[in-house]
Amino acid sequence: MPDQSHTDRAYEHELHTVRVSLLRMAGRVEHMIGQAGRALVERDAQLAQKVIAEDQEVNRAEVEIDELCLRILAKRQPMASDLRFVTLAMKMVTDLERIADLAVNICERAVQLCDTKVVVHAEIPEMCSAVEGMVRDSIDAFVNRDVAKARAVIVRDDVVDQYYHRIFEDLLRRMQHEPALLHEWIHVQSVAKWLERMGDHSTNLAELVVFMIEGRDIRHPRLHGDRKHGY
Amino acid sequence: MSLGFRRRLLLSSLVFVTVVDLGVGLYLEDRLRDSLDSRIRGELGRQARAMGEVLEGVGVDPAQPERARATIDPIADRFGAALEARVSVIGPEGALLGDSELSLSELVQAEDHSDRAEVVEARAGALGVARRRSATLGSEMLYVATAVPGTPDRVVRVSVPLSQVDDAVWQLRGILVLSGLAALVAAGVLAMVASRLLSRSLQALVATAQHEAGSLAGPELADPPSSVNALADDLRRTVRLLGNERERFETVLETMDQAVLAIDAEGRVSTVNGAGRRLLGLPEAVEGRPLLDFVRLPVLQGLIDEAASGRSAGAELDYGVSPRRRIQAHATATKQGGGTVIVMHDVTELRRLETIRKDFIANVSHELRTPVAVIQANAETLMAGAIHDPKRARTFLDALARHAERLGRLVADLLDISRIEAGRYPLEIEPVDLVELVDRTIAALALQASEKGTGLASRMKGELWVAGDDKALEQVLFNLVSNAIKYTQGGGHIEVDAVVIEREGGEPSCLRVEVRDDGPGIDPRHHGRVFERFYRVDSGRARDMGGTGLGLAIVKHLVEAMGGRVGVDARRPHGSIFWFTVVTAASALGGDDEEDPEDDEGDAGDGAAATEEADGTGEDRLDAAVANSSHAPPRAG
């Protein structure tokens, strides 16, 4: 059976590669969120451009991981937890890529805001940290198979939403008082909105991690009235 | 050499086989003889009984022995021939009535058999057994006798020569000896082969051992134990040495300030020291797990990749969210195994200080350049002819003087701050009346305030004795109040107040002196930095105000030199509260000789809460403080 074990080893190696690539991609995305926030607050157009350039790497990683996962699905027909892992990786990659895109959007706005007098809200960097922490904890939960941590991330999305609502209310007020800066305030609003969306994507990540560990789909809890079991 | 060892091995195995062989042989022979004996005995008994059954039907007249013999002897003869044994029949008086080995004539002459042991036993009703030399035949015999049923005085006796039994035993012994010899030969051959193999592998072992140990002289194979012992000693020594080495290595690694992280070719953490754990916030059980499970910094991964491709690489990276650390990392591939060693140090503080220094130099040059340029320009204009126009010359000279004065102030401030920083600013801590000092400061700045239309007032009455350096305190107050005047637009209000923040046995021990304004306030983001040298919240505006950018830095240094703290809080609805703490004269210089009156950092966070209090009840509390301090030593401030 040397052939069999050879196949097993190659298979193991492929799964390992998926895992490593996924973690590296996640690390890059985490980093991009933080850097985007910094570029915005410190009015660092250079840093913003660097983050925008980094998106290329994320896109490449997405394509690579997707391809590898498809190859594993086609060639190895993985079962049970391996199957969950591979499909999960494909979904996580999508969310991570979306988060990176949003970080790029923020950086583009940061470049535009660099030249204006607008001081972004102190909550924006806090929101960045919160989202970055959510992504990091989702991935940590994935690494350590820590369901409790993943569930904690899902709860934290509310905090990000609250940030967004506070900033939004404040922006409405400012727009009324300083119509001259309307353009800039709308940029800030977009940034806040994108951060809020990043929070949603992080929640998706955490839900996927719960699914991987428990094999139970916790997305859209209302659906489960009709459909008792997950997969 | 090896022969001795092998011979010993061979000999011992031969001796072992022989002993086992002999033991087994003797035991088997004994058991066999026993079982053969009892079998023959049983057989003879049955034969004797059968003969007895036959004789029961043969009636003989005891009175006529001749006839009886003639009847019985042929039967005995026939039985004897059939059984290949001697069959005898013994009459009542012990006379032989028949015997397969004797003719009729010999029977008569045969001696009396009634005293034979087996016959006696048989007559008693049992099965008689005896083993002895036959007097009649002259050979070793086994006799078995039984009484003929019905006629108890007649006894049938069957006997076989014991040589038959001995023959069987001898036969067996032969087989045993032969098989024993065969076993011996086989064992010998096997032992030889085994000893050869064993000795060969032992030789190899010892050779390897010696080679590995590399320290033993001469391949003394004749004595493998000694070389193996030497090897064991060597091994023990090496293990101990390695243990020491390892311990030393670990101690060095652990006490290093730099973080060291080693990962293997698969990206798993193989070693990390304490500094590394702390810097990267790693958990305890991290060895053997992929680094990516814990740290996913793209820059660090890039360094590792680069190191893996053979180039050692260095970079600076940001790690963590709050606090964000600046880490300088350097990755090098290990010589073997494809791993990577990363050495990191935390350069956050270093970079911060560098930035401050860079900013300082840039700021100083910038601040100096402006007045120098103005002076230069005015002087040149004067020299170019303006000096002959008295009206215009006056303007230029005014500007010259103003900027020269500003330059002088700047240089004086710089000198002050460098003196304070170097610890060469002599401070004389003595009781100072804070109320009087505040009044003096307000009087000095009253003109400046009224020019801007800003209200300036002290909210303190009576006397309030604090421990401090009179000159330093005055400068602190002056800087804070003039700062407040500068940054408060016309029509604003500035007030100076003191709040008791700590009491000792009912007496106020620590005060917070506050300079409150209702200006535009400072964004909380700047609160931590306004006391830095040349730090400008709004750089353009501040310079218009004629500030040197050093006032607050001097305040901070002076207050800290007196053991106090400084800070700034936001005031509601707008404005700022600049404050510093100072200990009362009573607590610092009075009865209880408290050396270090400065309270610990724990209170620093309460600044906002204290301000709240101050807003509501500050006045009452101040009055109390003043009342309490009225019996402080009345000394001229």
State the pLDDT at residue B187: 79
- Give residue for tokens 């996640």: A26
Hey, what amino acid is at B136?
T
Sign of CA dihedral B275, B281, B286, B290: negative
Q: Regarding predicted confidence, which is higher, A163 or B425?
A: A163
Rounded Cα distance between B272 and B260, Å, is 6
**Alpha-carbon distance A123 to A129, whole Å?**
10
Q: Identify the CATH homologous superfamily for domain B256-345.
A: PAS domain (3.30.450.20)
A55 vs B: CB within 8 A:
no
> Is any Cβ of chain A less than 8 angstroms from the Cβ of B280?
no
- Domain B2-167 carries which CATH code? 3.30.450.20
Q: For residue B606, what pLDDT is reported?
A: 38
Write down the CATH number for the domain with range B351-421: 1.10.287.130
Check pLDDT > 80 for residue B553: yes
Could you tell me the two tokens for B627? 């009342």
- A132 chain-B contacts, CB cut-off 8 A: 321
How confident is residue B322, by pLDDT bands cut at 50, 70 and 90? low
Note whether A132 contacts B321, CB cutoff 8 Å.
Answer: yes
Strand pairing partners for B148? B151
CA-wise closest residue to B554 among B605, B483, B613, B614? B483
What's residue A96's pLDDT?
93
Instruction: Look up residue B523 and give its amino acid.
Output: D
- Work out the pLDDT band at B225, boundaries 50, 70, 90: low
Phi, psi of B134 (to 5 degrees): -75, 130
- Residues from chain B contacting residue A23 (CB–CB below 8 Å): 290, 292-293, 296
A20 touches chain B (CB under 8 A): yes
What count of Cα atoms within 13 Å lies in the side-chain half-sphere of residue B36?
A: 19
Percent above pLDDT 90 for chain B: 3
Among B501, B485, B616, B610, smallest CA distance to B564 is for B501
Residues B14, B17: Cα–Cα separation, whole Å: 5
Q: Which has the closest alpha carbon to B626: B378, B433, B487? A: B433
Provide the pairing of β-strand B340-346 with B259-263. antiparallel
Per-residue pLDDT for B612 more than 60?
A: no
Residue B570 pairs in a beta bridge with B576
Q: Do B292 and A20 touch (CB under 8 A)?
A: yes
Between chain A and chain B, the number of residue pairs with CB atoms below 8 A apart is 43
Classify residue B422 by its DSSP letter: T
Question: Which residue's structure tokens are 């839900």?
Answer: A207
pLDDT for the residue B243:
93
Which chain B residues are closer than 8 Å to A28 by Cβ? 296, 298
B267 → closest Cβ in A20, A34, A122: A20
Looking at residue A73, its amino acid is L
Residue B127: closest CA among B35, B42, B33: B42
Contact present, B540 and B370 (Cβ < 8 Å)? no
Q: Which of the residue ranges A151-155, A226-230, B189-193, B451-455 would you say has the lowest mean pLDDT?
A: A226-230
CA-nearest residue of chain A to B324? A34
**Is there a contact between B328 and B302 (Cβ–Cβ < 8 Å)?**
no
Query: Is B523 in Cβ contact with A54 (below 8 Å)?
Result: no
- Top pLDDT among A40 and B320 is at A40
Whether B321 contacts chain A with CB within 8 A: yes
Contact of B262 with B250, CB cutoff 8 Å: no
According to the model, what pLDDT value does residue A59 have? 93
- Which ranges in chain A belong to alpha helices (H)? 2-41, 45-76, 80-114, 123-144, 147-177, 182-214
Per-residue model confidence (pLDDT) at position A229: 46
Nearest to B478 by CA among B562, B567, B580: B580
- ipTM of model: 0.80
Mean of pLDDT values over B103-116: 77
For B51-96, how does the pLDDT look when each residue is reduced to its tens digit (9 = 90+)? 888 877 776 666 677 777 777 888 888 888 888 888 888 887 777 7
Listed range (B430-444, B470-484, B501-515) with the worst mean pLDDT: B501-515
Domain ranges of chain B: 2-167, 256-345, 351-421, 430-629
Cα–Cα distance measured from residue B393 to residue B398, given in angstroms and rounded to the nearest whole number = 8
Q: What is the CA radius of gyration of chain A?
A: 20
Q: What's the pLDDT score for residue B600?
A: 40
Ordered by where they begin, the domains of chain A are 2-225 (1.20.58.220)
pLDDT value of residue B244 = 93
Listed as ranges, residues in chain A with pLDDT below 50 are: 1-2, 226-231
What is the pLDDT, as a whole number, of residue A12? 87
Is B296 within 8 Å of A20 when comparing Cβ atoms?
Answer: no
Cβ–Cβ contact B520 with A under 8 A: no
- Cβ-contact A89, A22 below 8 angstroms: yes
What's the pLDDT tens digit per position in B370-380?
A: 888 888 888 88
Among A31, A132, A140, whose Cβ lies nearest the Cβ of B298? A31
Could you tell me if A29 and A96 are in contact, meaning their C-beta atoms sit under 8 angstroms apart? yes
Please list every residue in chain B whose beta carbon sits closer than 8 Å to the beta carbon of residue A133: 321
DSSP string, B431-445: EEEHHHHHHHHHHHH
Contacts of A34 in chain B (CB under 8 A): 318, 321
| Of residues B66, B52, B42, B110, the one with CA closest to residue B99 | B110
- Paired strand residues for B567: B579
Q: Looking at residue B584, what DSSP letter applies?
A: B
Distance (Å, rounded) from C-alpha B631 to C-alpha B637?
15
CB A133 to CB B293 under 8 A? no
Q: Mean of the pLDDT values across residues B312-340?
A: 83
pTM above 0.90, yes or no: no
Model confidence at B227: pLDDT above 70: no
A97 touches chain B (CB under 8 A): no
Sign of the alpha-carbon torsion through B99, B101, B106, B112? negative
Q: Are strands B493-504 and B455-458 parallel, antiparallel or unpaired?
A: parallel
B47, B11 Cβ separation under 8 angstroms: no
For chain B, the residue count is 637
> What Rg, from alpha-carbon coordinates, does chain B have?
63
CB contact A123 to B (< 8 Å): no
Q: How far apart are CA B451 and CA B457, in angstroms?
A: 15
Same fold, B2-167 and B256-345: yes
Q: What is the mean pLDDT of residues B329-340?
A: 86
The reported pLDDT for the residue numbered B546 is 59
Amino acid at residue number A81:
S
Cβ of B298 within 8 Å of Cβ of A133? The answer is no
B301 reaches A (C-beta below 8 A): yes
Which residues are CB-neighbours of A224 under 8 A, at least 6 positions away?
A: A217
- H or E element at residue B131: strand B128-133
- The better pLDDT of the pair B631, A183 is held by A183
Contacts for A181 with CB less than 8 Å, ≥ 6 apart: A116, A117, A118, A174, A175
B chain contacts of residue A26, beta-carbon cutoff 8 Å: 296
Specify the 3-state DSSP secondary structure of B598.
coil
Residue B161 confidence class, pLDDT cut points 50, 70, 90? confident
pLDDT tens-digit readout, B246-288: 999 889 988 888 889 898 888 889 888 888 888 888 888 888 8
Rounded to the nearest angstrom, the minimum Cα separation between B317 and chain A is: 11
Nearest to B297 among A27, A133, A144 (CB): A27
Contact B321 A34 (CB under 8 A): yes
Contact B296 A57 (CB under 8 A): no
Residue B197 has pLDDT above 50, yes or no: yes
Residue B604 has pLDDT above 60, yes or no: no
Task: State phi, psi for B323 to the nearest 5 degrees.
Answer: -80, 145
The mean per-residue pLDDT over the stretch B471-486 comes to 88
Closest chain A residue to B301 measured between Cα atoms?
Answer: A24
**Topology (CATH level 3) of domain B430-629:** Heat Shock Protein 90 (3.30.565)
Work out the average pLDDT over B27-47: 84
Those residues whose C-beta lies under 8 Å from the C-beta of residue A210, and which sit 6 or more positions away, are: A147, A150, A151, A154, A216, A218
Task: Say how many residues make up chain A.
Answer: 231
Q: What order do you get walking across the sheet with B96-99 strand by strand?
A: B96-99, B86-90, B151-161, B140-148, B128-133
Backbone angles phi, psi at B498, to 5 degrees: -130, 140
Task: Report which of residues A95 and B406 the model is more confident about.
Answer: A95
Q: Which of A30, A57, A129 sits opposite B322 (nearest CB)?
A: A129
